[in-house]
A and B are shown apart, each in its own frame.
Chain A
Amino acid sequence: MSIEFRHVRKTYPDGTTAVEDFSVTIPSHSTTVFVGSSGCGKTTLLRMINRMVDPSEGEVLIDGEPVSGIEPVALRRRIGYVMQNSGLLPHRTVLDNVATVPVLTGTPKAKARQEALAQLDRVGLDRSLANRYPGQLSGGQQQRVGVARGLAADPNILLMDEPFGAVDPIVRDELQQELLRLQRELGKTTVFVTHDIDEAFLLGSQVVILQRGGIIAQIGSPAEILAHPASDFVADFVGAKRGKRRLTAEERSAGDDVLLVDAGGYPAGVISAPDGRLILAGAGPKSRSVSNKTDQAGDA
């Protein structure tokens, strides 16, 4: 299920342009992240995929089929959607929330609930929560229910609109790892929107950095973007320019761990170097998992 944006443009009646001429191909079975500051049109673009927003010009295609030709309600039922603050129905139990879409598409209620229980297992929620109401859950638990609901109808496409934006950093970390695990298991075509560049680099195999008006500042893998920022804007956005990601090894180090500091002189992490020799873990962005912990905590 690949998704293609073809010269998409969105202008609102009051004359503001949210997106001008956006074209991107989203490969199937992998995660693409739209990242940018507020007002860059990333959510608008995401919502064009399930026709919550219709483009003024241009087309969005799923496997070559224009979504404009698909009835919105039918389209939305086959695309998973997870949003910030979960968007759960407050008057329905966790189980009924998860079973929402299967019930809408005609699955008998008892069967849908049975399958919803399995979805709870999948997203790491205890079955004892099944009969609670969303208001009785923590923010992190609510987001897990949101993900379970998004996956319940087994959609090929999963849209996630800043799903972890409102939870605390520790829970966010857990949820991100959980999502990576799910993605390895399920291989959905996932489109993820965030304003957090660290989250984008962690989750995305393809990252699209957006500027105001949905203009693509750079598109590529996290490693490509980090190693070769296309512009000052990108360098600034990913933190390379501020020196947050330019790490140097501190001279005085005890034991086999060498302390890494960023350009501002702040400790950013450690790297193991037995006998003063760095262990190279293959090229690429893997090393960031040890290098930028403080960075992430600082941003949160």
Chain B
Amino acid sequence: MLFVQAIQWILDGSHWSVVNFQAGIAQELADHLWISFVAVVFTAAVALPIGLFIGHTGKGRAGAVVIANVARAVPTLGLLSVLLVMWLAFPPTVLVFVLLGVPPLLAGAYAGLESIDRQTIDAARAVGMTERQILFQVELPLAAPLILGGLRSSTLQIIASVALVSNFGINSLGDFILGGLAANDFVQMTAGAILVTVLALLVDGVLAVLQRLAAPRGVSRGRGPSTARVRRLPVAPRGAPIPEGK
């Protein structure tokens, strides 16, 4: 029972501090999360302003779709190798994952803004809101669930892919998978895979709760079906080429 043994391997307290004379689960987990966190922050810093600009003005949408598609087509492992060979360090690692994380969040941001009833925005403008007030008081609150949906996809992809950095000697939960493979220790390998999966699902769950909480009250409350609508939308943002990363 490989799976049961892998669970036992994870539950073994000593593996949390040291594995094969190297970093244990706690250390690898912290490193994995740190790289993921930095990558998500940079992803948001790049994708949110661009996505909100496109969604608010309706300009540059075609360009963004092309760039997002190209970014998605880039082979992560290949790019990681090229960058690390050229410049072995932390920054390029993060850059690769930002490239991976930008498309879903970008799509979530502009699809979120585009999904708002044009009449609502027109009315906000007609009663005398400035463009900034329209963005922060109308568009962002109404688009919040879709934007967070995009962030969820980005985060999930990043956490799952960060394991690849272990190929290049940088600490991550991928170390257990690669180490196990090298030593023919399939229990450790499975344990590593389980750890990455559980981490990704846990973080996704937290973000899912946030997404629920972010649904504007007037839109989700008092009308049963609309709650479901808000939750389902992120799967297929209008015109977005990106499926939800599950």
Contacts and interface: CB of A to CB of B under 8 A. Distances in A.
Nearest to B222: A136
A89 B124 contact: yes
A85 to B, nearest CB: 6
Contact of A135 (B130, B137, B141, B226): B226
Interface string B208-246: 000000001111011100100000000000000000000
B138 interface: yes
B222 A91 contact: no
Given A104-B133, A135-B226, A87 B126 contact: yes
A26 B123 CA distance: 23
Contacts of B126: 47, 50, 52, 76, 81, 83, 87
Contacts of A76: 125-128
B223 A135 contact: yes
A86 B122 CA distance: 11
A93 B216 CA distance: 11
Nearest to A150: B127
Interface in B56-83: none
A90 B219 contact: yes
A52 B122 CA distance: 9
Which one of A47, A52, A90, A100 has the greatest number of beta carbons of chain B within 10 Å? Answer: A90
Contact of A136 (B119, B120, B128, B223): B223
B127 A135 contact: no
A74 B123 CA distance: 15
Interface string A74-88: 111100010111111
A74 B130 CA distance: 9
B133 A133 contact: no
Interface in A97-125: 100-101, 104-105
Contacts of A105: 128
Interface size class for chain A? 20 to 34
Contact of B222 (A74, A77, A101, A135): A135
Interface residues of B, number: 25
A92 B127 CA distance: 15
Contacts of B141: 91
B148 to A, nearest CB: 15
Interface string A112-147: 000000000000000000001111100000000000
Nearest to A50: B126
B49 to A, nearest CB: 22
Contacts of A88: 120, 123
B221 A133 contact: yes
Contact of A93 (B122, B128, B218): B218
Interface in A55-83: 73-77, 81, 83
A91 B128 CA distance: 18
B119 A91 contact: no
Contact of B127 (A81, A91, A136): A81
A90 B122 CA distance: 13
B142 A83 contact: no
A92 B218 CA distance: 6
B123 A91 contact: no
B128 to A, nearest CB: 3
A93 B142 CA distance: 14
Contacts of B216: 90-91
A245 interface: no
B7 interface: no
A149 interface: yes
> Which of B126, B137, B141 has most chain A Cβ within 10 Å?
B126
Which of B123, B127, B128, B142 lies at the interface centre, i.e. has the most chain A CB atoms within 10 A of its CB?
A: B127
B218 A134 contact: yes
Given A50-B126, A76-B126, A89-B138, A135 B119 contact: no
Interface of B: 117, 119-120, 122-130, 133, 137-138, 141-142, 216-219, 221-223, 226
- The 8 lowest CB-CB distance pairs between A and B, nearest first, are A87-B123, A133-B218, A91-B216, A77-B128, A76-B128, A81-B126, A136-B222, A91-B218
9 contacts: A77-B128, A81-B126, A83-B126, A87-B120, A89-B123, A132-B222, A133-B218, A135-B223, A136-B222
